[in-house]
Chains A and B, each alone.
Chain A
Amino acid sequence: MQPLAKLLEAALFAASRPLTLEELASLDPTAGEQAVRAALAALRSAYTEDHGVELTEIAEGWQFLTRREYAETIERAQFALRPRRLSPAALETLAIIAYRQPVGRLEVDEIRGVDSGAVMDKLVERGLIEVVTRGEGLGRPLLYGSTPGFLEILGLKDLEDLPRLEELSVALRRPTPVDEPE
């Protein structure tokens, strides 16, 4: 393996969070971004099925993660624990915020049909959403958006990884669909 790839491997092994391309590139200022990309690709293909861990693109960065098939065994031995699952209410709120960001609490409440203040406070606490700006409307409401932590717990590379709304089986139709023959 190239020296640069080995350097990246060491850094990714040492870090306990995803490292971004810029962070990895800062390890060796003489190497260009292109070389770092190439080294990452080489590293990823080096960690093939022969290894228990794989190099994953996640949360706008790179991280070594264990392969899925070992999850149960590792967890049974209590070497690592799965994070607690998010409640349906939390996932609903996250979905709305991820797709509508920046979005205020009122809009989330309206789409869900229930008060979402407590859920949103919890999500802020867990670092999955954050206040990104203030709205123009009355009282300049706080508007929320998703954080890198959101991408991390879902294993997403970036927001582009989310399914496109057109791909969903229920596409948002016109507000007057009643006359359309089904």
Chain B
Amino acid sequence: MMTGPIIRDQAAFVVELEKFSGPLDLLLHLIKEDEVDITDLPIAKIADQFLSVIQDLGLNQAADYLEMAARLLRIKAQMLLPRRLGDDEWEDPRAELVRRLLEYQQIRELVDWLGHAADVRAERFGRGYEAPPPDAPPAPLQIDLNDLLAAAERVIALIPEPMLHRVVPRPLDVEGATAKINALIAEREQFGWSDIVGRGATIVDVLSAFIALLELAKRSSVTLSQPEPFGPMVITRATPREAA
């Protein structure tokens, strides 16, 4: 029940606001209605009218109108400031607004002219509308087989030799490394990293051995220690109790 009038108010606002294409249009409308001289604007009166109109229209949706309202009030305030008689330095605070209004009025006059021109033009039909054609298609090619082959050769010559890399799968041999370490455990109670991987070890060997070693340490088959920072790693066979 309560929403009825509110909705109606909003609808009225939209319709009203669309009568004007902006704050300058509304100002011109007020000036014309009051029949005042645009170059000698009664700024206080116009500002009050402007404010009351946009209040009627609903303020929250009309930032452009609010900005104009603020501008009008500032000019109104500046007009109230006392000034000495014959003060040549005084600059009319309305000047900028008047210039914009005149400029806008000129645009409105052009709008009338353009609108009329468009209406007249609209009463004259051309041939049926067609979508603008795409850029003219290229003329049919006149070419024989030799030309075509020569062109193909030129193109092929430009193709760089492809860079091919053979990608070989190199799976880590964790099982083999585990077996090797287990053999070492069986043999010795304590040994070093270099006992597992020899000098010529590839990166795959190192990775395999490292993963195997971590896995064995996790299973508590070995304990890993490093007596000093950056020192060699010492691998110790776990005691049977620990292994259990």
Tell me whether A and B are bound partners. yes
- B90-131 Cβ-contact flags toward A at 8 Å (1 or 0): 001011101110111111111101110111111111111110
**Structural contact, B94 and A178, CB atoms closer than 8 A:** yes
B140 adjacent to chain A (CB < 8 Å): no
**Structural contact, A114 and B128, CB atoms closer than 8 A:** no
- State which of B99, B110, B121 has its C-beta within 8 Å of the C-beta of A95: B110
Known: A114-B21, A175-B96. A65 touches B125 (CB 8 A): yes
Residues of chain B contacted by A98 (CB below 8 angstroms): 110, 114
B37 adjacent to chain A (CB < 8 Å): yes
- A80-115 Cβ-contact flags toward B at 8 Å (1 or 0): 101101101101101110110000000000011111
Residues of chain B contacted by A178 (CB below 8 angstroms): 39-40, 92, 94-95, 98
- A57-86 Cβ-contact flags toward B at 8 Å (1 or 0): 000000111111001001000001011011
- A1-28 Cβ-contact flags toward B at 8 Å (1 or 0): 0000000000001011100000000000
A154 adjacent to chain B (CB < 8 Å): yes
**Structural contact, B127 and A16, CB atoms closer than 8 A:** yes
- State which of B94, B96, B103 has its C-beta within 8 Å of the C-beta of A172: B103
- State which of A96, A113, A182 has its C-beta within 8 Å of the C-beta of B68: A113
Known: A113-B104, A176-B95. A86 touches B118 (CB 8 A): yes
B132 adjacent to chain A (CB < 8 Å): yes
Interface size on A, residues (CB 8 A): 52
Report the bound CA distance from A85 to B103 in whole Å.
24
Report the bound CA distance from A17 to B99 in whole Å.
41
**Structural contact, B123 and A82, CB atoms closer than 8 A:** yes
**Structural contact, A112 and B21, CB atoms closer than 8 A:** yes
B64 adjacent to chain A (CB < 8 Å): yes
Report the bound CA distance from A97 to B126 in whole Å.
26
- State which of B99, B109, B120 has its C-beta within 8 Å of the C-beta of A169: B109
A177 adjacent to chain B (CB < 8 Å): yes
A51 adjacent to chain B (CB < 8 Å): no
A118 adjacent to chain B (CB < 8 Å): no
Known: A56-B124, A113-B68, A177-B39. A156 touches B117 (CB 8 A): yes
**Structural contact, A165 and B113, CB atoms closer than 8 A:** no
Residues of chain A contacted by B106 (CB below 8 angstroms): 165, 168, 170-172
Please give me the residue from chain B that is nearest to A155 by CB atom: B121
Residues of chain B contacted by A180 (CB below 8 angstroms): 39
Known: A16-B126, A16-B129. A89 touches B107 (CB 8 A): no
Report the bound CA distance from A60 to B95 in whole Å.
40
Please give me the residue from chain A that is nearest to B108 by CB atom: A92
**Structural contact, A91 and B130, CB atoms closer than 8 A:** no
A114-B22, A165-B106 given; 8 more Cβ-contact pairs under 8 Å: A13-B127, A92-B21, A153-B118, A155-B120, A175-B99, A176-B92, A177-B102, A178-B40
A-side residues, CB < 8 A to B, are 13, 15-17, 56, 63-68, 71, 74, 80, 82-83, 85-86, 88-89, 91-92, 94-96, 98-99, 111-115, 152-156, 162-163, 165, 168-173, 175-178, 180, 182
9 A-B pairs (CB sep. < 8 Å):
A16-B129, A71-B124, A112-B104, A156-B117, A162-B110, A165-B106, A176-B92, A177-B102, A182-B40
**Top 9 closest pairs, chain A to chain B, by CB:** A155-B121, A71-B123, A114-B22, A95-B110, A65-B124, A113-B24, A16-B127, A175-B99, A82-B122
